[in-house]
């Protein structure tokens, strides 16, 4: 039996579990683990500039590809606390990441040792397991259990904290016979699917609300097949966006208070039956529950039993992995179709499509300073269906969801629930590591961009090329808009006269200089007509230099983006599209 340090055991297990990449930064207390990674040589390590960045890189890495588990590594004390935000956003969006931290030696844990913090207790509410491994012989079991939990049921993150002496202790371990534990995924029964389909058959205007669970289960094709078989229009949630291509005839638009389409909300309100699959009735999707649920029957399919009924009581709940449920939905629907037992939904689907073709927001503005809507129109022209978008939060992200197009699962990568500012840059880098062959376009407001701007150097150092569209309004735009309710504009301005950069015209930070200083390429545009050419130029720079390329668009300072409090009370601030030229890149052409 080979005898090895538990740090070597941990690395051997990571390899056996399929890990090829890690994101992190070393410190003294995690050096034994780094030494083991070095000895092994099979894990590519990306050195973050901030440990929170490493945790978001791990999230981006997981979110980009089915089956991936991002690993982030840091030392004891502040490294673990820095990664707490990543654990939060991962757990909130059901994303597995494994966070590994160093720790003070076991005998000194209670002595207020240098950088000794009880990270497992801090991480516990945000993880499926958070464990300081005190016994060396427990290390194999801890890692084996970590992978089992991350993959089972509702996916989520795990933290394993390794005291310095535990990492160095030797145990007997045979990597050759190590076997990952099977993941537990509950599956719907045929009787349950039959019942749900019976309920759907009773409806006249059914829709499917497709959540991120479908993406997690890698079941987008099954969703599409089921929607097509039954002719049911699909409303993806923000986390499910891309499960059905935006140009699919049954794509009915997104619903919600912010990241939503007018036609998506109208279709939800017109429906009489909602089949939610792998979704969690997020409050910014539902808005007020009375409006959302009135007059509708609900079936809710979710992998986590305690999610059923958490937000409101559905008429029927099924505990199942989204993929397993959809497989049966397709099977039974196919049988019913060949028996002539499926209702014809053509008229209802056509009605939804008609809404899509008539209820559009205007994107074409020629104003200087640029209106944000125009940026997305230009992005739609410049970036094709192969593009993967990464964004976090703010007016920038909300408008992106309203105006951009997403055609494939995992091509809208967003920290949907937690929305931690600064997430975009490191997450985009993690996405680039996971899939270097697909073009990545990140989108940030100026504040999100400034939060973890140092991570751009990681992209330059490790040649992780992507385009970062930066929409600069020199404002905490979303918060400025929400302060209208308090009749104030307080502590939300990012503008100042930059003594080194009068050319930024009072917008404060010179992002171009900072990005260049960090080893990236950067362009700034101020006119709407310059956006398209700048995006094309960015593609060239990216191909030539293989580093992140920032395209900053100077926006008008104040724009209010459509949002509201209820699905039937979303406030529009701009003229709506009336002619094709008003929304020239809309997927469904506006009916004249
Ligand atoms: C860590 C953190 N603090 C505060 C917030 C609240 N918040 C949400 S959006 C936003 C402003 C974002 O500004 P910017 O990135 O410039 O985007 P804009 O809304 O201007 O497009 C703030 C402060 C947050 N999401 N995360
Ligand atoms: Mg801003």
Position 501 scores a pLDDT of: 97
Q: Residue 569: beta bridge partners? A: 566
Closest CA to 326 of 207, 210, 199, 246: 210
Q: Give, for all 592 residues of the chain, the pLDDT tens digit.
A: 899 999 999 999 999 999 999 999 999 999 999 999 999 999 999 999 999 999 999 999 999 999 999 999 999 999 999 999 999 999 999 999 999 999 999 999 999 999 999 999 999 999 999 999 999 999 999 999 999 999 999 999 999 999 999 999 999 999 999 999 999 999 999 999 999 999 999 999 999 999 999 999 999 999 999 999 999 999 999 999 999 999 999 999 999 999 999 999 999 999 999 999 999 999 999 999 999 999 999 999 999 999 999 999 999 999 999 999 999 999 999 999 999 999 999 999 999 999 999 999 999 999 999 999 999 999 999 999 999 999 999 999 999 999 999 999 999 999 999 999 999 999 999 999 999 999 999 999 999 999 999 999 999 999 999 999 999 999 999 999 999 999 999 999 999 999 999 999 999 999 999 999 999 999 999 999 999 999 999 999 999 999 999 999 999 999 999 999 999 999 999 989 999 999 999 999 887 5
**Protein residues within 5 Å, CB atom, of ion ligand 2:** 445-446, 473, 475, 477
CA dist., res. 215 & res. 63, Å (int) = 9
Ligand 1 and 424: CB distance under 6 A: no
Position 592 scores a pLDDT of: 57
Give ∠ CA 286-292-293 in degrees, rounded to 5: 130
Does residue 86 contact residue 52 with C-beta atoms inside 8 Å? yes
Pocket test for ligand 1, best of 85, 399, 452, 479 (most atoms within 8 A of CB): 479
Q: Kindly list the distances between the CA atom of residue 541 and the CA atoms of 413, 435, 456, 467, in Å, as whole numbers in the listed order.
A: 24, 19, 15, 10
Ligand 1 and 82: CB distance under 6 A: no
Q: 223 C-alpha vs ligand 2 centroid, how far in Å?
A: 36
What tokens does 197 get? 């389909």
Kindly give the pairing relationship between strand 563-566 and strand 569-571.
antiparallel
Q: 457 C-alpha vs ligand 1 centroid, how far in Å?
A: 22
Ligand 1 and 475: CB distance under 6 A: yes
Does residue 471 contact residue 448 with C-beta atoms inside 8 Å? no
Ligand 1 and 508: CB distance under 6 A: no
Does residue 418 contact residue 157 with C-beta atoms inside 8 Å? no
Ligand 1 and 445: CB distance under 6 A: yes
Closest CA to 560 of 380, 398, 405, 403: 398
Across 375-466, the runs of DSSP E, i.e. the strands, are 388-391, 412-414, 440-445
Cβ density class 288-308: b for 16+ within 10 Å, e for less: eeebbbeebbbbbbbbbeebb
Cβ density class 483-500: b for 16+ within 10 Å, e for less: eeeeeeeeebebbeebee
DSSP assignment of 458-486 equals HHHHTT---EEEEEE-SB-HHHHHHGGGG
Residue nearest to atom 17 of ligand 1 (CA): 445
Computed on alpha carbons and rounded to an integer, the radius of gyration of the chain in Å comes to 25
CA dist., res. 159 & res. 447, Å (int) = 29
CA dist., res. 322 & res. 215, Å (int) = 9
The phi and psi torsions of 58 (rounded to 5 degrees) equal -60, -40
For the chain, first and last CA: distance in Å? 76
Q: Kindly list the distances between the CA atom of residue 344 and the CA atoms of 57, 205, 206, 275, in Å, as whole numbers in the listed order.
A: 46, 11, 12, 17
CA dist., res. 340 & res. 335, Å (int) = 9
Position 589 scores a pLDDT of: 86
Q: 580 C-alpha vs ligand 2 centroid, how far in Å?
A: 29
CA dist., res. 308 & res. 302, Å (int) = 7
Ligand nearest to the CA of 421: 1
Position 552 scores a pLDDT of: 98
Ligand 1 and 479: CB distance under 6 A: yes
Q: What is residue 157's DSSP assignment?
A: -
Position 590 scores a pLDDT of: 81
Q: 476 C-alpha vs ligand 1 centroid, how far in Å?
A: 6
Ligand 1 and 52: CB distance under 6 A: no
Kindly give the pairing relationship between strand 3-5 and strand 170-172.
antiparallel
Q: 452 C-alpha vs ligand 2 centroid, how far in Å?
A: 15
Kindly give the pairing relationship between strand 234-236 and strand 206-210.
parallel
Ligand 1 atom closest to Cα of residue 392: 25
Q: 383 C-alpha vs ligand 1 centroid, how far in Å?
A: 25
């Amino acid at each position: 039996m080979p005898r090895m340090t538990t740090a070597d055991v941990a690395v051997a297990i990571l390899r056996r579990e399929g890990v090829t990449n890690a994101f992190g930064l070393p410190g003294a207390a995690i050096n034994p683990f780094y030494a083991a990674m070095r000895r092994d040589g099979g894990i590519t390590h990306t050195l973050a500039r901030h440990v929170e960045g490493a945790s978001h890189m791990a999230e981006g890495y997981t979110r980009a590809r089915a089956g991936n588990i991002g690993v982030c590594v840091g030392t004891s004390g502040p490294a673990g606390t820095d990664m707490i935000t990543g654990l939060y956003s991962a757990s909130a969006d059901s994303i597995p990441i494994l966070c590994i931290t160093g720790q003070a030696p076991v005998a000194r844990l209670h002595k207020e040792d240098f950088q000794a913090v009880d990270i497992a207790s801090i991480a516990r509410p945000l993880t499926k397991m958070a464990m300081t491994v005190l016994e060396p012989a427990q290390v194999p079991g801890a890692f084996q259990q970590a992978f089992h939990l991350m993959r089972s049921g509702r996916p989520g993150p795990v933290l394993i904290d390794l005291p310095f002496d535990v990492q160095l202790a030797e145990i007997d371990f045979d990597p050759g016979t190590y076997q990952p534990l099977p993941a537990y995924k509950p599956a719907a029964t045929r009787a349950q699917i039959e019942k749900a389909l019976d309920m759907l058959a009773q409806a006249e205007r059914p829709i499917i609300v497709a959540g991120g669970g479908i993406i997690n289960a890698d079941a987008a094709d099954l969703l599409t097949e089921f929607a097509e078989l039954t002719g049911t229009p699909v409303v993806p949630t923000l986390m499910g966006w891309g499960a059905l291509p935006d140009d699919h005839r049954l794509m009915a638009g997104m619903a919600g208070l912010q990241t939503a389409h007018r036609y998506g909300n109208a279709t939800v309100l017109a429906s009489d039956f909602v089949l939610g699959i792998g979704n969690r009735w997020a409050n910014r999707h539902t808005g007020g529950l009375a409006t959302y649920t009135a007059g509708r029957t609900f079936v809710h399919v979710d992998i986590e039993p305690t999610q059923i009924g958490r937000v409101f009581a559905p008429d029927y709940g099924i505990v199942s992995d989204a993929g397993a449920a959809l497989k049966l939905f397709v099977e039974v629907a196919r049988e019913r179709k060949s028996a002539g037992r499926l209702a014809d939904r053509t008229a209802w689907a056509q009605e939804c499509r008609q809404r899509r073709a008539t209820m559009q927001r205007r994107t074409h503005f020629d104003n200087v300073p640029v209106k944000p809507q125009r940026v997305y129109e230009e992005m739609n022209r410049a970036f094709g269906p192969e593009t993967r978008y990464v964004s976090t939060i703010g007016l920038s992200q909300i408008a992106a969801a309203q105006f951009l197009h997403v055609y494939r699962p995992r091509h809208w990568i967003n920290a949907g629930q937690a929305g931690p500012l600064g997430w975009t840059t490191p997450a985009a880098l993690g996405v680039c590591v996971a899939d270097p062959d697909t073009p990545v376009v990140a989108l940030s407001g100026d504040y999100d961009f400034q939060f973890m701007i140092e991570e751009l150097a990681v992209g330059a150092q490790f040649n992780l090329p992507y385009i970062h569209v930066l929409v600069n309004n020199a404002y905490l735009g979303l918060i400025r808009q929400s302060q209208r309710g308090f009749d104030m504009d307080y502590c939300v301005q990012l503008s100042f006269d930059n003594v080194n950069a009068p050319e930024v015209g009072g917008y404060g930070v010179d992002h171009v200089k900072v990005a260049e200083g960090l080893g990236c390429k950067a362009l700034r545009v101020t006119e709407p007509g310059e956006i398209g050419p700048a995006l094309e130029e960015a593609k060239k720079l990216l191909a030539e230099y293989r580093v992140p390329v920032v395209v900053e668009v100077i926006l008008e300072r104040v724009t209010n983006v459509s949002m509201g409090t209820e699905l039937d009370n979303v406030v529009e601030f701009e003229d709506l599209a009336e002619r094709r030229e008003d929304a020239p890149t809309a997927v469904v052409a506006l009916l004249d």
